Amino acid sequence: MSFGLVRMANIGPLFDVAIAMYRQGAPVPNVRVHLCVYHSQFPLLARSHIEQQLDAVFDRRPGRSSDDPALLHPSVRALLDAHPQPDQMFVVLASPVCEVGRDWDADWAIAEPSSMRSLIQLAGRVRRHRSGAVARRNMLVFDTNLRNFERSSDKDAVFCMPGFEKNLTSSLQKHERTAQHDSLTHFHLQSHHLIDLLPDGGSDWPIDARPRIRQGEKLQPKGSLIDLEHARMRDTMLPRDETSKLITPVKRDATRHWYVRDADEGQRILLTGLLPQLQRFRDDPQKRDDVVLLPTEDEDELRLHRVIDRRERGQTPYADIRHLLRPVTDCSPDGRGIGPWCHVDLMDLLRQWADAQGQSLYDSAKQVATASLPASESDQGWLFHPVLGFKPA
């Protein structure tokens, strides 16, 4: 038995890989795979339930029992008792939300690369609570990511969104576009294979934080994933030299008008509210739709609604958009030797929540059956499955 993490860079491909895993089933007859899909595009209550289950299962701190603490969790115990296969794999197929803020101890991890920082964070979720020597490798990193196989030309960045590489198609202010190419190629990798981007192809890296802490004497951001991150961080956080040929987008360059280079006055901008206004900590340029799954009058099903900002008397703040919710018809979560783990029917969770809070099912849904999704383009809507979450159609 083992508990592992498969970390993917983006939710869309993760959604598709989960469907493929359910279709394919377990690799051999004597193995049972218990799959938990975990990312940010689940209804809030469903995501909270998944996180509570995983936080408990991956707490591997030694207790009074000599057994693995994960064996005592009800969700694990029930699946082990229900399936006779001698090898049981509990797999979390996750987006980058698994990397930060989760105090997990997994037995192994597989990563789709996007940045060194991401790899270091993921490594911190493997054998986090246990000491002792490791007998064999317990982390695998693919040589490249899926985006590399989808790019249309060598000018496309693949270690981006998330990642530190700059996409050549990114747009800047109109008056800055003449210098756009020189600026962006400075952060464009010559290769997108880790065997070319890491020292010795990454084979001798002990997976610790030194690559993010120690900076080389001369940065080579085009040929090293490590140097790329140091160069981008320096370029983002420090003022550029006046002789630099690289331009800075006005939206990001708060130092352009207010930074004073004198040693005694250079930090004045940090004492004002200007910097966080121009350099937002979480600046998501992607348009999003706030949605909620509300119960019908007879409370027998949930229907998708868009949350709209209508404060006028007599007008509802929710618009019924059930036609934009598209079911996933080609996915059966009970495949050959594989099944879901940590997923519970949302209606059941809502009823439990409503009973605990002493309020109606409708009021509970307004609070916790919500999600913030990438805006639907041309009303294509979103795919949805209880064990897969949402994905733009």
Task: Map out the domains of the chain with their CATH numbers.
Answer: 2-146 (3.40.50.300), 153-278 (no CATH), 288-392 (no CATH)
- Measured N-to-C along each axis, helices 44-57 and 74-82 cross at an angle, to the nearest 10 degrees, of 80
Partners of 140 in the β-ladder: 110
Of 157-166, 169-178, 199-208, 271-280, the one with minimum mean pLDDT is 169-178
Average pLDDT, the chain: 85
Judged against a pLDDT cut of 80, whether residue 119 lies above it is answered with: yes
pLDDT tens figures, 58-115: 999 887 566 788 988 999 999 999 999 999 999 999 999 999 889 999 999 999 999 9
Judged against a pLDDT cut of 60, whether residue 392 lies above it is answered with: yes
Give residue 329's pLDDT. Answer: 84
Tell me if the bond preceding 13 is cis, omega within 30° of 0.
no
Cα dihedral across residues 220, 225, 228, 234: positive or negative: negative
| Confidence bin at 316 (pLDDT 50/70/90) | confident
- Alpha helices by DSSP H, listed for the chain, are 11-24, 44-57, 74-82, 116-123, 146-150, 180-185, 194-197, 210-213, 225-237, 255-258, 274-278, 346-357, 361-368
Judged against a pLDDT cut of 80, whether residue 141 lies above it is answered with: yes
| Rounded CA separation 372/370 (Å) | 7
Label the pairing between strands 389-392 and 382-385: antiparallel
Of 43-57, 354-368, 374-388, the one with minimum mean pLDDT is 374-388
Of 32-41, 123-132, 328-337, the one with minimum mean pLDDT is 328-337
Q: Mean pLDDT throughout 236-265?
A: 58
The two three-digit tokens of residue 372, written as one number? 């913030």
Give residue 152's pLDDT. Answer: 83
Region of 363 on the Ramachandran plot (φ > 0 left; ψ -120 to 50 alpha; else beta): alpha
Q: What share of the chain in percent tops pLDDT 90? A: 59
Q: For residues 27 and 372, which has the higher predicted lDDT (pLDDT)?
A: 372
Give residue 206's pLDDT. Answer: 77
Q: For residues 171 and 369, which has the higher predicted lDDT (pLDDT)?
A: 369
41-61 exposure pattern, b = at least 16 Cβ within 10 A, e = fewer? bbbebbbebbbebbeebbbbe
Of 1-10, 79-88, 152-161, 356-365, the one with minimum mean pLDDT is 152-161
Distances (CA, A) of 378 to 324, 371, 383, 392: 10, 20, 14, 11
Q: What share of the chain in percent tops pLDDT 70? A: 80
Q: What residues contact residue 267 under an 8 Å CB cut-off, 6+ apart?
A: none
Give residue 278's pLDDT. Answer: 64
- Name the pTM for this structure: 0.87
Give residue 282's pLDDT. Answer: 63
